[in-house]
Chains A and B, each alone.
Chain A
Amino acid sequence: MSDHDHHDDGVSRRRVLECMTWAGTGVLWTISGGVPHSLGLVGSAAAAEPSGLTFLQISDSHVGFDKPANPNALGTLEEGINKIIAMPKKPSFMIHTGDITHLSKVAEFDNAERIISQAKLDVHYVPGEHDFIDEEVKLYKERYGKGTKGAGWYSFDASGVHFIGLVNVVDLKGGGLGNLGAEQLEWLENDLKGRSKSTPIVLFAHIPLWTVYPEWGWGTEDGGRALEYLKGFGSVTVLNGHIHQVMQKVEGNVTFHTARSTAFPQPAPGTAPSPGPMKVADDKLRSMLGIASVNFKLGDQRLAIIDTPLQG
């Protein structure tokens, strides 16, 4: 993990990070003064009454997953969406960082859409590897690929912030990690060319663009090249999913953050034989939904992980 771990704030952050293996509901982001801040999970974020642009990140809904780690992934997605609906201040939009479905089945996409649309927010998706496993690899693109390039990458602007959705789950090479590929990197370079360096950038993709744990494939082979194009920009925030737990680090002006899943937790790197779904006690899973929030503020240098259980 990183240079931010050495601060002394009671229970050491490193220890908290190591222990963080829960599922959650969603992360609320707000941008004030051009700098994105995470306000933690929606429960606590609602109380913060953020001003300026706010947006939500949800990830890894795995609709269709029904194994012991969470027999009802659709139900926990719905709980997350209900919390969003209950927020007193409506966020501007939502991003979903992939693995909408578990097996790319039509019914799974339909169910996900039915639940997520209840939030009545624009949703900007990027695919996870679980969204591309239908026979013809067409369902994701039919639904969410409109206006995107290649396997589904795109960019858009909101309130002066430039958002870039990347796809790093296709054409993966044996023995390797996530992959962006030459075509997408070239597009990214052009997308950023000539853009004012004071434009805050939010980059989002499914698999972490930074190397979290290569032994479990948690990183992107050519993620470093993407980040090279972002050199010189004053504020860069990289949002990912895939690893079903919160991880974050700051490198210079780049903040990396991974979101929780709404479906099931995965173990912290190296703490289990594999990154597969982690079964916890039923009552523990429920209490984990929303027990942790993450705040970071650029300029503060300190990342704060706040343990905020919704129950108990």
Chain B
Amino acid sequence: MMTSATCRSLGLRSGFRSGFRSLGIRLAVAAAIVLPLGVIGAHAEDMKVTIDNFTFAPAELKVKVGDTVTWINHDDIPHTVVSAGKFRSKTMDTDNDFSFTFTAAGDYKYFCSLHPHMTGMIKVE
């Protein structure tokens, strides 16, 4: 499975920046060049999951194959995002984020491995 995962600090949230790290995304970007850039930008804006009060919001997010989702932790307590066999973030301390590019369709259930009652879902079409 061609995927890319990065854990990085704030300020590097361009979908393209992460995307260039995998071949799958490079192809997606090549295809996207023919589309108006504004459409891509608006779309990328939505691909964010925030963590506040030990809760993923939105709890369920629908994205397209090739999209990059970024999780950002706003709590005073570290969290992780883990989808068994699919992706696993490093520990995100306060205001750290983690991005993952989805290269295959499917339902990705995930949770925080430190606080497993925290669960979420990314639906990739």
Contact B111 A174 (CB under 8 A): yes
Contact partner of B117 among A67, A129, A216, CB < 8 A?
A216
B94 interface residue (CB < 8 Å to A): yes
Find the B residue at minimum CB distance from A266.
B77
Contact partner of B55 among A176, A177, A274, CB < 8 A?
A274
A274 contacts which chain B residues (CB < 8 A)? 53-55, 75
A173 interface residue (CB < 8 Å to B): yes
Contact A67 B54 (CB under 8 A): no
Q: When chains A and B are docked, how far (Å) is the Cα of A217 from the Cα of B54?
A: 11
Secondary structure of the B contact surface, majority rule: loop
Find the B residue at minimum CB distance from A278.
B76
Secondary structure of the A contact surface, majority rule: loop
Contact partner of A133 among B55, B78, B119, CB < 8 A?
B78
Find the A residue at minimum CB distance from B114.
A129
Contact partner of A275 among B54, B80, B93, B111, CB < 8 A?
B54
Q: When chains A and B are docked, how far (Å) is the Cα of A103 from the Cα of B114?
A: 12
A185 interface residue (CB < 8 Å to B): no
Q: When chains A and B are docked, how far (Å) is the Cα of A245 from the Cα of B67?
A: 43
* Minimum CB–CB distance for A176 against chain B, Å: 5
Q: When chains A and B are docked, how far (Å) is the Cα of A175 from the Cα of B77?
A: 18
Contact B91 A217 (CB under 8 A): no
A276 contacts which chain B residues (CB < 8 A)? 53-54, 75-77
Contact A277 B77 (CB under 8 A): yes
Contact A216 B54 (CB under 8 A): yes
A273 interface residue (CB < 8 Å to B): yes
* Minimum CB–CB distance for A121 against chain B, Å: 29
Interfacial residues, chain B to chain A (CB-CB below 8 A) = 53-55, 75-78, 80, 82, 84, 90-91, 93-94, 109-111, 113-119
Interfacial residues, chain A to chain B (CB-CB below 8 A) = 67-69, 102-104, 129-130, 133, 135, 172-177, 214-217, 273-277
Q: List 20 A-B contacts (CB under 8 A).
A: A67-B76, A67-B94, A69-B76, A130-B78, A130-B114, A133-B80, A133-B91, A135-B90, A172-B114, A173-B111, A174-B82, A174-B119, A176-B116, A176-B117, A177-B117, A215-B117, A216-B117, A217-B118, A274-B55, A274-B75
